[in-house]
Chains A and B, each alone.
Chain A
Amino acid sequence: MSHDHSHEPVTTAGEPPAAARVRALADLLVEKGALEREDIRRRVDRLVSRTPADGARLVARAWMDPSFKERALSDARLAALELGLEPGESPQVVALENTDDVHHMVVCTLCSCYPKALLGPPPDWYKSLPYRSRAVSDPRGVLREFGLELDEDVEVRVVDSTADVRYIVIPRRPPGTKGLDEEELAALVTRDSMVGVAEPAPSS
Protein backbone atom coordinates (compact mmCIF):
# COMPACT_ATOMS: atom_id res chain seq x y z
CA MET A 1 0.00 0.00 0.00
CA SER A 2 1.45 3.39 -0.89
CA HIS A 3 1.17 6.39 1.38
CA ASP A 4 1.17 10.00 0.30
CA HIS A 5 2.16 11.26 3.71
CA SER A 6 5.27 10.79 5.82
CA HIS A 7 5.29 7.85 8.17
CA GLU A 8 4.88 8.89 11.74
CA PRO A 9 5.71 6.57 14.62
CA VAL A 10 2.66 4.80 15.91
CA THR A 11 2.80 6.77 19.13
CA THR A 12 5.35 9.48 19.89
CA ALA A 13 6.46 10.08 23.43
CA GLY A 14 3.91 11.86 25.56
CA GLU A 15 0.97 11.13 23.30
CA PRO A 16 -2.00 9.24 24.62
CA PRO A 17 -3.09 6.05 22.81
CA ALA A 18 -5.83 8.15 21.27
CA ALA A 19 -3.29 9.84 19.02
CA ALA A 20 -2.50 6.70 17.04
CA ARG A 21 -6.16 5.81 17.02
CA VAL A 22 -7.14 9.15 15.48
CA ARG A 23 -4.50 8.82 12.77
CA ALA A 24 -5.65 5.29 12.02
CA LEU A 25 -9.22 6.53 11.86
CA ALA A 26 -8.22 9.21 9.36
CA ASP A 27 -6.50 6.59 7.20
CA LEU A 28 -9.49 4.28 7.32
CA LEU A 29 -11.97 7.01 6.44
CA VAL A 30 -9.89 8.15 3.49
CA GLU A 31 -9.50 4.56 2.27
CA LYS A 32 -13.23 4.02 2.52
CA GLY A 33 -13.85 7.15 0.49
CA ALA A 34 -15.77 8.71 3.35
CA LEU A 35 -13.34 11.62 3.46
CA GLU A 36 -10.71 13.10 1.19
CA ARG A 37 -7.17 13.65 2.39
CA GLU A 38 -7.03 17.10 0.81
CA ASP A 39 -10.19 18.20 2.62
CA ILE A 40 -8.72 17.06 5.92
CA ARG A 41 -5.49 18.92 5.20
CA ARG A 42 -7.34 22.13 4.38
CA ARG A 43 -9.28 21.91 7.61
CA VAL A 44 -6.15 21.24 9.63
CA ASP A 45 -4.52 24.31 8.08
CA ARG A 46 -7.53 26.45 8.87
CA LEU A 47 -7.68 25.20 12.45
CA VAL A 48 -4.08 26.03 13.20
CA SER A 49 -4.45 29.54 11.83
CA ARG A 50 -7.49 30.65 13.80
CA THR A 51 -7.03 33.48 16.29
CA PRO A 52 -9.27 35.95 18.16
CA ALA A 53 -8.24 38.69 15.70
CA ASP A 54 -11.56 38.78 13.86
CA GLY A 55 -13.52 39.11 17.07
CA ALA A 56 -11.19 41.91 18.17
CA ARG A 57 -11.79 43.73 14.88
CA LEU A 58 -15.53 43.52 15.34
CA VAL A 59 -15.24 44.90 18.88
CA ALA A 60 -12.87 47.68 17.87
CA ARG A 61 -15.17 48.78 15.06
CA ALA A 62 -18.11 48.73 17.47
CA TRP A 63 -16.17 50.95 19.85
CA MET A 64 -15.32 53.44 17.13
CA ASP A 65 -18.56 53.50 15.20
CA PRO A 66 -21.83 53.75 17.20
CA SER A 67 -24.02 52.90 14.21
CA PHE A 68 -21.94 49.80 13.50
CA LYS A 69 -22.28 48.87 17.14
CA GLU A 70 -26.05 49.07 16.85
CA ARG A 71 -25.93 46.82 13.81
CA ALA A 72 -23.66 44.40 15.65
CA LEU A 73 -26.03 44.31 18.61
CA SER A 74 -28.93 43.69 16.28
CA ASP A 75 -27.23 40.96 14.26
CA ALA A 76 -23.56 40.20 14.89
CA ARG A 77 -23.45 37.67 12.10
CA LEU A 78 -24.37 40.29 9.51
CA ALA A 79 -22.06 42.81 11.15
CA ALA A 80 -19.15 40.37 10.87
CA LEU A 81 -19.94 39.79 7.20
CA GLU A 82 -20.03 43.56 6.71
CA LEU A 83 -16.39 43.68 7.83
CA GLY A 84 -15.47 40.82 5.52
CA LEU A 85 -15.12 38.42 8.45
CA GLU A 86 -16.17 34.79 8.45
CA PRO A 87 -18.91 34.54 11.09
CA GLY A 88 -18.84 30.75 11.26
CA GLU A 89 -21.41 28.07 10.70
CA SER A 90 -23.85 29.06 13.38
CA PRO A 91 -27.00 30.59 11.90
CA GLN A 92 -27.12 33.18 14.65
CA VAL A 93 -24.33 35.14 16.33
CA VAL A 94 -25.26 37.58 19.08
CA ALA A 95 -23.05 40.33 20.47
CA LEU A 96 -23.60 41.22 24.12
CA GLU A 97 -22.55 44.67 25.21
CA ASN A 98 -20.95 45.23 28.58
CA THR A 99 -21.78 48.57 30.17
CA ASP A 100 -21.15 50.23 33.51
CA ASP A 101 -24.25 48.42 34.79
CA VAL A 102 -24.14 45.04 33.07
CA HIS A 103 -21.33 42.51 32.66
CA HIS A 104 -21.85 39.49 30.43
CA MET A 105 -20.01 36.20 30.73
CA VAL A 106 -20.42 33.27 28.33
CA VAL A 107 -20.37 29.54 29.04
CA CYS A 108 -21.61 26.30 27.52
CA THR A 109 -22.58 24.13 30.47
CA LEU A 110 -23.59 21.19 28.27
CA CYS A 111 -20.49 20.96 26.09
CA SER A 112 -18.22 23.68 24.66
CA CYS A 113 -20.19 25.83 22.22
CA TYR A 114 -18.06 28.83 21.41
CA PRO A 115 -17.82 31.43 18.59
CA LYS A 116 -14.77 29.74 17.08
CA ALA A 117 -14.81 31.57 13.78
CA LEU A 118 -14.40 34.90 15.56
CA LEU A 119 -12.33 33.88 18.59
CA GLY A 120 -10.34 30.86 17.44
CA PRO A 121 -10.41 27.61 19.40
CA PRO A 122 -11.78 27.76 22.94
CA PRO A 123 -9.24 27.60 25.76
CA ASP A 124 -9.07 24.47 27.90
CA TRP A 125 -10.62 26.22 30.88
CA TYR A 126 -13.72 27.13 28.90
CA LYS A 127 -14.26 23.42 28.15
CA SER A 128 -13.39 22.33 31.68
CA LEU A 129 -15.91 20.76 34.05
CA PRO A 130 -15.33 23.31 36.85
CA TYR A 131 -15.96 26.30 34.55
CA ARG A 132 -19.05 24.72 33.06
CA SER A 133 -20.34 23.97 36.53
CA ARG A 134 -19.45 27.13 38.45
CA ALA A 135 -20.04 29.79 35.80
CA VAL A 136 -23.79 29.50 36.36
CA SER A 137 -23.75 28.91 40.10
CA ASP A 138 -20.93 31.20 41.24
CA PRO A 139 -20.00 33.58 38.41
CA ARG A 140 -18.46 36.16 40.71
CA GLY A 141 -16.27 33.49 42.28
CA VAL A 142 -15.16 32.44 38.82
CA LEU A 143 -14.47 36.02 37.80
CA ARG A 144 -12.47 36.51 40.98
CA GLU A 145 -10.30 33.57 39.95
CA PHE A 146 -9.70 35.39 36.70
CA GLY A 147 -8.75 38.49 38.64
CA LEU A 148 -11.94 40.41 37.97
CA GLU A 149 -13.89 41.85 40.86
CA LEU A 150 -17.14 43.58 40.02
CA ASP A 151 -19.18 46.00 42.10
CA GLU A 152 -22.34 44.68 43.69
CA ASP A 153 -24.21 47.29 41.66
CA VAL A 154 -23.16 45.67 38.41
CA GLU A 155 -25.51 43.02 37.09
CA VAL A 156 -23.62 39.91 36.03
CA ARG A 157 -25.39 38.10 33.21
CA VAL A 158 -24.11 34.60 32.60
CA VAL A 159 -25.14 33.42 29.16
CA ASP A 160 -25.35 29.65 28.69
CA SER A 161 -25.01 28.76 25.00
CA THR A 162 -27.39 25.85 25.01
CA ALA A 163 -28.51 25.89 21.39
CA ASP A 164 -27.63 27.21 17.93
CA VAL A 165 -26.82 30.79 18.94
CA ARG A 166 -23.19 31.78 19.50
CA TYR A 167 -22.35 34.66 21.80
CA ILE A 168 -19.52 37.18 21.79
CA VAL A 169 -19.06 39.87 24.39
CA ILE A 170 -18.34 43.48 23.46
CA PRO A 171 -16.33 44.50 26.51
CA ARG A 172 -16.21 48.06 27.78
CA ARG A 173 -13.79 50.30 25.97
CA PRO A 174 -10.84 51.08 28.26
CA PRO A 175 -10.52 54.69 29.42
CA GLY A 176 -7.91 56.92 27.79
CA THR A 177 -8.25 55.33 24.34
CA LYS A 178 -9.90 58.16 22.43
CA GLY A 179 -6.87 58.85 20.26
CA LEU A 180 -6.29 55.26 19.18
CA ASP A 181 -7.12 54.02 15.70
CA GLU A 182 -9.04 50.83 15.03
CA GLU A 183 -5.95 48.65 14.76
CA GLU A 184 -4.59 49.97 18.05
CA LEU A 185 -7.95 49.43 19.70
CA ALA A 186 -8.22 45.90 18.36
CA ALA A 187 -4.84 45.12 19.93
CA LEU A 188 -6.38 45.80 23.35
CA VAL A 189 -9.28 43.40 22.86
CA THR A 190 -8.27 40.13 24.47
CA ARG A 191 -9.95 36.80 23.87
CA ASP A 192 -10.85 36.56 27.54
CA SER A 193 -12.60 39.93 27.40
CA MET A 194 -14.76 38.66 24.51
CA VAL A 195 -15.76 35.62 26.58
CA GLY A 196 -16.47 37.90 29.51
CA VAL A 197 -14.01 36.68 32.12
CA ALA A 198 -11.74 39.70 31.87
CA GLU A 199 -11.66 43.34 30.88
CA PRO A 200 -9.69 44.35 27.79
CA ALA A 201 -6.06 45.33 28.18
CA PRO A 202 -5.66 48.89 29.39
CA SER A 203 -4.14 51.37 26.96
CA SER A 204 -0.43 51.60 27.71
Chain B
Amino acid sequence: MTFAAGDDVVVSSREHSGHHRTPGYLKGRRGTVLRVYARFRNPETRAYGGDGLPKERLYLVSFELSGRDRVLADIFEHWLEQAA
Protein backbone atom coordinates (compact mmCIF):
# COMPACT_ATOMS: atom_id res chain seq x y z
CA MET B 1 0.00 0.00 0.00
CA THR B 2 1.09 3.61 -0.37
CA PHE B 3 1.66 6.01 2.48
CA ALA B 4 1.50 9.75 3.01
CA ALA B 5 3.52 12.11 5.16
CA GLY B 6 2.25 11.85 8.70
CA ASP B 7 1.22 8.19 8.48
CA ASP B 8 2.27 5.93 11.31
CA VAL B 9 4.01 2.83 10.01
CA VAL B 10 5.83 -0.24 11.24
CA VAL B 11 8.92 -1.66 9.56
CA SER B 12 8.53 -5.34 8.79
CA SER B 13 10.58 -7.71 10.89
CA ARG B 14 10.62 -10.49 8.33
CA GLU B 15 13.82 -12.36 7.64
CA HIS B 16 15.48 -11.54 4.34
CA SER B 17 18.71 -13.33 3.65
CA GLY B 18 19.70 -11.58 0.43
CA HIS B 19 20.80 -8.02 -0.19
CA HIS B 20 18.40 -5.43 1.11
CA ARG B 21 18.64 -1.92 2.45
CA THR B 22 16.40 -2.07 5.51
CA PRO B 23 18.71 -1.93 8.51
CA GLY B 24 18.26 -4.50 11.27
CA TYR B 25 18.02 -1.91 14.03
CA LEU B 26 14.81 -0.57 12.46
CA LYS B 27 13.05 -3.84 11.73
CA GLY B 28 9.89 -4.15 13.74
CA ARG B 29 10.10 -0.48 14.78
CA ARG B 30 7.22 1.93 14.63
CA GLY B 31 7.79 5.27 12.91
CA THR B 32 6.17 8.19 11.12
CA VAL B 33 6.45 8.99 7.44
CA LEU B 34 8.15 12.37 7.00
CA ARG B 35 8.56 12.49 3.24
CA VAL B 36 7.34 10.60 0.23
CA TYR B 37 10.15 10.25 -2.27
CA ALA B 38 10.10 9.10 -5.87
CA ARG B 39 10.15 5.47 -6.93
CA PHE B 40 13.55 3.85 -7.36
CA ARG B 41 14.82 0.61 -8.78
CA ASN B 42 14.67 -2.20 -6.25
CA PRO B 43 18.17 -2.91 -4.93
CA GLU B 44 17.10 -6.39 -3.81
CA THR B 45 16.82 -7.59 -7.38
CA ARG B 46 19.39 -5.30 -8.95
CA ALA B 47 21.98 -6.82 -6.65
CA TYR B 48 21.60 -10.13 -8.48
CA GLY B 49 21.75 -8.84 -12.02
CA GLY B 50 18.10 -7.88 -12.34
CA ASP B 51 16.95 -4.53 -13.63
CA GLY B 52 15.30 -3.58 -10.35
CA LEU B 53 11.92 -3.01 -12.02
CA PRO B 54 9.24 -2.29 -11.16
CA LYS B 55 10.50 0.70 -9.22
CA GLU B 56 9.53 0.90 -5.57
CA ARG B 57 8.36 3.94 -3.65
CA LEU B 58 10.84 5.22 -1.07
CA TYR B 59 9.89 6.99 2.15
CA LEU B 60 11.82 8.99 4.71
CA VAL B 61 10.59 7.61 8.02
CA SER B 62 11.27 9.05 11.47
CA PHE B 63 11.77 6.84 14.53
CA GLU B 64 12.12 7.68 18.20
CA LEU B 65 15.61 7.45 19.59
CA SER B 66 15.77 8.91 23.07
CA GLY B 67 14.29 12.05 24.56
CA ARG B 68 13.55 14.36 21.68
CA ASP B 69 16.10 12.72 19.42
CA ARG B 70 15.08 10.83 16.33
CA VAL B 71 16.55 8.53 13.74
CA LEU B 72 15.45 9.06 10.15
CA ALA B 73 15.97 6.50 7.41
CA ASP B 74 14.91 5.85 3.84
CA ILE B 75 12.71 2.76 3.73
CA PHE B 76 11.15 1.10 0.69
CA GLU B 77 7.41 0.70 0.55
CA HIS B 78 7.40 -3.09 0.62
CA TRP B 79 9.08 -2.98 4.02
CA LEU B 80 6.39 -0.80 5.59
CA GLU B 81 3.06 -1.73 7.09
CA GLN B 82 0.37 0.51 8.43
CA ALA B 83 0.71 0.87 12.20
CA ALA B 84 -2.24 -0.24 14.25
Q: Which residues of A contact B (CB under 8 A)?
A: 91-92, 109-110, 136-137, 139-140, 152-165
Contacts and interface: CB of A to CB of B under 8 A. Distances in A.
23 contacts: A92-B38, A109-B25, A154-B68, A155-B69, A156-B65, A156-B70, A157-B69, A157-B72, A158-B69, A158-B70, A160-B23, A160-B73, A160-B74, A161-B74, A162-B22, A162-B74, A163-B21, A163-B40, A163-B43, A163-B75, A164-B40, A165-B37, A165-B60
Tell me what chain A mostly uses at the interface: helix, strand, loop, or mixed.
loop
Contacts, number: 65
Interface residues of B, number: 22
Shortest beta-carbon contacts, A-B, top 7: A163-B74, A160-B73, A156-B69, A155-B68, A159-B72, A162-B74, A164-B40
Nearest to A96: B72
Contacts of A152: 67-68
Contacts of B38: 91-92
Given A91-B38, A92-B37, A163-B76, A155 B70 contact: yes
Contact of B71 (A91, A136, A140, A163): A136
Contacts of A92: 37-38
B58 interface: yes
A160 B40 contact: no
B55 to A, nearest CB: 10
Contacts of A156: 65, 68-70
A109 B23 contact: yes
A160 B70 CA distance: 11
Contacts of B37: 92, 165
